[in-house]
Each structure stands twice: as structure tokens, then as C-alpha cells.
Structure 1
């Protein structure tokens, strides 16, 4: 049983409520993670920009079957969502089968037996609530960090891989029991990150503004991953991959990193 080690208070402005964040501990045993900003990238078919990195990931971890977790899909078309991802993975020509978690009679037993899980994008609040409802949060944490199960996430699936979903871009359309996520890494991610357009006439908050608001109350680093980037984690080594620079935010500064940058220091906190 994973115990809860950290207690803190955060304020989510859009709810005007106070939530307790109690993160699962990172046990630092063995991590095999691919955390994508998104599967869709301008100028590419689905998952094709990331294809070389994902092929290497599947081969390194001897993945013959992927359990796809479609629960971030708000409209509930889990079959269609799973087929779309299975078709994309089929282009890797690795003979890797893809099965939707929703097709199993017992999701807990399916995760216990899984070689690799892939949690897709959609709404992070809907996704995390479903993971809690199915009693999968602590189980996935344990399977990845203690058993070495490979983990792939995209967008919302990358959000829930971190310490919390506090830096998602999604509308809070449903209440999960907590903002605490899988805590496979001890920092936050902002998928689909985009810098402000200096020529824009838009007067609303920028993505950077929102992350700065997060840091008024929270200390965790936030990695802004633009579309076309991913974070590859192999044991205790984290490497930025892709075709764009990522931006790392802390309470005191932000810094840009180019693809192939070593971000392993983020795993130490």
C-alpha cells in the first residue's frame, strides 16, 4: 500500500474552494515513461512526429501489448478512441496489440497484468476522477515505480503522470476526489504549452500568467511542453525530445530548453 507523505493547501480560483493536495511518494525504483505534449502535431498524421521515439521505447521495454486508457474522452466513445490509437501504433510495424481498458471486466486485474499502459488525452478532471473511481491511482503508481511497467501518456495522460493536475489547460467540468495524480515524476507538466504572441490583441491571461499564478501558492516546477515535444524518462534520466523548445518554470524564473536537453535534475526533487 502506498502511503501519503505530503500535505499542503492550494486554492483553485475557478472553484473558489480550498483543496488538500496529498501526493503519492515517488519511490525511485525504475521508471520507463514517455510523456507527450500531444499526439497531434501540425504537419503530421497522428503520432507520426513522435514515431521514432515511441518505436525505440516499445523495443527497449519489449512491449507486445499496450493497454490503452481512454477515460479522458468526454463523449464516451472509448471504442472509437481506442481504434484511432491502435491504428496509429500499427504504423510502427512492431506487431504491438492495443486493447482498451474499458473492454476488460476487471480493470484492476488488467492493470496488474499489463506490460505497458497508454493514457490518452482529453479532459484531465474527467480522467482523474475515473482513475479514482476504479481504484487505479495507487495501483498504477506502484506498477510503474515498483514493477517497471512502461507508461505512455499524452496531454491529459501526461498531466496525470505528474504530482497533480493543477497545471492542466482543461475546464474543471467534474470534481475528482483530489487533484493528486499518479506522481510518477515529482513536478508538473503543462501540455500544449505556447508562448504569448507579442502581436496579439488578446487581453486575457497568457499560459505564462497562469503558471505564475500556480507558483504564488505552489512550489513544484512546471515543464511547459509545446506540441511536438515529449519527455522521455529512462530510469533516472529524463531527456527532452521533439521539434520545439520546452520552457521550465519555477517560482523564481523560467528557462528554455532545446530538444535533447538533459532534464534529469527534475527527477531529484
Structure 2
């Protein structure tokens, strides 16, 4: 059976500065006492990023980027944590280094993603919010879940003077070209797949399906149908 998956919208709690303070309990249960390899490629300064997350998590976290052969380590890792940053840079580097294929082959590993790391767990990175600062050589990702997620989902603000597309409009544009459901994860929310069960935790979310009105999801909602349909 594929390894369990935890997908966080963000690393900092809403209104807080302490990384992952909002998700300590679910992270502890998900990671347990496993050795966790941190994948830092979404940010430019890998060492600083690793140190920041290692101090915050308090688990046996190890830096994948310091391994002589990161792909070989990823291929046998019992758990990986893929951090946030720019999704295009992340996908570019894990593809270039062979880590993407290694993680695909090691789908029994326990996967944790935050923001860009959550995007990497999807079939493709179509619903990221990030600028394409580098060509990642294709948009296909890990497909650790069979649906799409929009981390950092923001509701339309009627008082805003911004004239560009809202997140909701961008997701509707996605559905003009693609059929799959999209979960808009608000800050502080996460999706946790354990075996054949998928649940929303931490905060509310918004579910978008092609040709249908968006649906509000309460924290605790059982979304197992998203991985079984």
C-alpha cells in the first residue's frame, strides 16, 4: 500500500511566526519516530532552510541536499518532507537530480509536503500560485494523490482594488482545460491521507469541481471519495 501523505497549505500558522506550530500534533502522528529526509529545493539557500525547519520540527530530520547521491537516498527513504517556496524551482531541481523518479519509485515512503511540497504531490503542478522562474522540463509531478490542491487559497475580497484574477477565477480557468477536482486549502489547513482515508484538518477549505458550484468544507470533513473515485 502507498505510504501515508500529509499535505499542508503553509508552514507558518495564521498570524504566527513559529513554523508548524498549528500542525504539531498531526505532524507528530504522521512522522512518528521515522528518519525524515528534508527536500529543500524550493528555496535557494538549502542549508538555511534545513536549519530553520529542523529547529522547528524536533524530529530526526536529515538534509537530502547534503547526500552524495540524493536520488539514491530518496529511493529508500522511509519518510520525506518537501518544503515550500517556488514550485517551478522545486520541480526543476528534483527532476534534474533524479529525485522525482526516485520518489515515484518509492511510493511506500511517508510523504509530507508544505505549500510547494504539497504541489509536488499532485499529478501535475497546474494549480500552483507561483511564477515560472525556471522551466521545470514538464509540469508532471508525483501523483501521490489523484486530485489537485491550491495551497494558500484566498477568498475574493470585495474591498480589494486588485484587477487581476482571483484564486477562484484561476481555478475555474484550470477547469476550462482540465477535469479533475481542486481543493483550495486555506491557511492553517491540511489534507491527511492514511491508508484509504482522506480527511481535511486544521481549517476550512473550498472544493471546486468542473461544471459545479464551489462547496465549502469544514475541518474534519471526510474526503476519502477523492482518492477512491
State the match for 2:134 in structure 1: 174
Cα pair 1:165 1:180 within 8 Å, conserved:
yes
Q: For 1:203-253, what per-residue CA distance to the aligned partner results, in whole angstroms no more than 9, with x for missing partners?
A: 2210000000010011111110011000000011100000x2101111122
Cα pair 2:11 2:114 within 8 Å, conserved:
yes
Q: Which sections of structure 2, spanning at least 5 residues, go unmatched? A: none
State the match for 2:94 in structure 1: 131
Q: Extract structure 1 runs of 4+ deviating beyond 4 A.
A: none
The residue correspondences of 1:245-256 to structure 2 (distance < 5 A) are 245-253=204-212, 254-256=214-216
Q: Distance in 2 between matches of 1:66 and 1:223?
A: 26
The residue correspondences of 1:106-185 to structure 2 (distance < 5 A) are 106-144=69-107, 148-185=108-145
State the match for 2:55 in structure 1: 87
CA RMSD for the aligned pairs? 1.1
Q: Distance in 2 between matches of 1:68 and 1:50?
A: 17
Q: Distance in 2 between matches of 1:121 and 1:233?
A: 19
Q: Is the aligned partner of 1:215 residue 2:175?
A: yes
Cα pair 1:34 1:230 within 8 Å, conserved:
yes
Q: Which sections of structure 1, spanning at least 5 residues, go unmatched? A: 1-28, 91-95
Q: Distance in 2 between matches of 1:143 and 1:97?
A: 20
Cα pair 1:125 1:172 within 8 Å, conserved:
yes
1:58 to 16, 23, 31: 31
State the match for 1:16 in structure 2: none
Q: Distance in 2 between matches of 1:233 and 1:67?
A: 19
Q: Is the aligned partner of 1:98 residue 2:61?
A: yes
Which structure: larger Rg? 1
Q: For 1:78-107, what per-residue CA distance to the aligned partner results, in whole angstroms no more than 9, with x for missing partners?
A: 1110000000111xxxxx321111100001
Q: For 1:158-200, what per-residue CA distance to the aligned partner results, in whole angstroms no more than 9, with x for missing partners?
A: 0010111010000011111110000111111100001101222
SS at match of 2:94: helix
Q: Distance in 2 between matches of 1:126 and 1:202?
A: 27
Q: Distance in 2 between matches of 1:202 and 1:30?
A: 42
Q: How many equivalent pairs are there? A: 227
Q: Distance in 2 between matches of 1:201 and 1:173?
A: 26
SS at match of 2:21: coil
2:11 to 13, 16, 39: 39
